[in-house]
Amino acid sequence: MSGQFTSDQIALFLLVLARVGGLVVSAPLLGDPQVPRLVKAVVAIALTIVLVQVPSVARLRMPAALAPFALSILSQLLVGLALGLVARALFFAAQTAGQIVSMQTGLSLAAVVNPLTSEPDTILAQVYLTVAALVFLAANGDAWMLAALARSFDLSLPGSAAPSGHLVEQAVAALLVVTQSGLQLAAPVVASLFATTAVLGLIGRSLPQLNIFVLNMPLGLLLGLVAMIGSLAASIALADHATQDLPGRLLHLLGGAAQPGGV
């Protein structure tokens, strides 16, 4: 077997590597800052070596001119980044839910470095992020993401000069629902705290001599934590459903599946 590679084979390898690399650097967990760059590079190259041997990809004709080839590289990088960001939507939603709960319970002022993002974050946001990460791994979210990546080469072959408007539109739409999904995760805690505030307000109207402000902070914190623990099973179920829908959401970017609901 010859050890030499043709220019088309090298060009194909670079195109596939651009898409895989875009996914690796933006994917949840693998794309986090604490993962060494060498590990990311090795994973990207290993996945590329496997994917370039897929028959539908190996038979592609590469752009002959330099300018179209450079645009194709950029296009594949954007496709990979879009896939990774949509896969990370669950983590964005979990972090948003944690920040909402922290703000409602009065813990938003206490921030420490999050080991998953290497950035300052509230304690409850880290709790929600950790739960999302564990559910993602337990539901084989990493395997679903890699399967969607492999399938994406059948729906959008390397070599196109620019990403489709559908991909950009759907990627932006998926990220815009992050706040909505975060509110869904935080809804039990927000509802319980709203009810607590309403009840304390009624008590304060009935007993003006009682200092409601002093009671509101510790009672709101206690009930908020109880509501968060009580809604943990529902949050896990929602995160699991979102992970199971991950292939459909990723492939929908390339026009290969119907838009699922939820996170």
CA 6 to CA 1: how far, in whole Å?
A: 14
Provide the strand spans (E) within the chain. 111-114, 119-122
Q: What is the pLDDT of residue 41?
A: 92
Structure tokens at 151: 């399938």
The count of residues in the chain is: 263
Asked if residues 148 and 243 have their Cβ atoms less than 8 Å apart, the reply is no
Give tens-digit pLDDT for 172-191: 777 677 777 888 888 888 88
Among residues 30, 37, 97, which one has the least CA distance to residue 232? 97
Mean pLDDT of 197-211: 74
Q: Which helix or strand (DSSP H or E) is residue 89 part of?
A: helix 89-105
- The tokens 């896990």 sit on which residue? 236
Q: What is the pLDDT of residue 158?
A: 67
Among residues 87, 262, 254, 253, which one has the least CA distance to residue 171? 253
What residues contact residue 219 under an 8 Å CB cut-off, 6+ apart? 196, 200
Mean pLDDT of 121-147: 86
Give tens-digit pLDDT for 219-230: 777 887 788 888
Mean of the per-residue pLDDT values of the chain: 78
Question: Does residue 90 register a pLDDT over 50?
Answer: yes
Give tens-digit pLDDT for 152-163: 887 776 655 455
Question: Does residue 258 register a pLDDT over 70?
Answer: no
Question: Does residue 233 register a pLDDT over 80?
Answer: yes
- DSSP, collapsed to helix, strand or coil, labels residue 114 as strand
Contacts of 252-259 with CB under 8 Å at 24 or more apart are: 252/170, 253/79, 253/82, 253/83, 253/86, 253/166, 253/167, 253/170, 253/171, 253/174, 254/79, 254/152, 254/155, 254/156, 254/164, 254/166, 254/167, 255/155, 255/164, 255/166, 256/151, 256/152, 256/155, 259/170
**CA torsion angle for 40, 86, 132, 245 (degrees, to 10)?**
-120
CA 234 to CA 92: how far, in whole Å?
A: 18
Claim: this prediction has a pTM higher than 0.95? no
Mean pLDDT of 199-213: 73
Structure tokens at 56: 């539908």
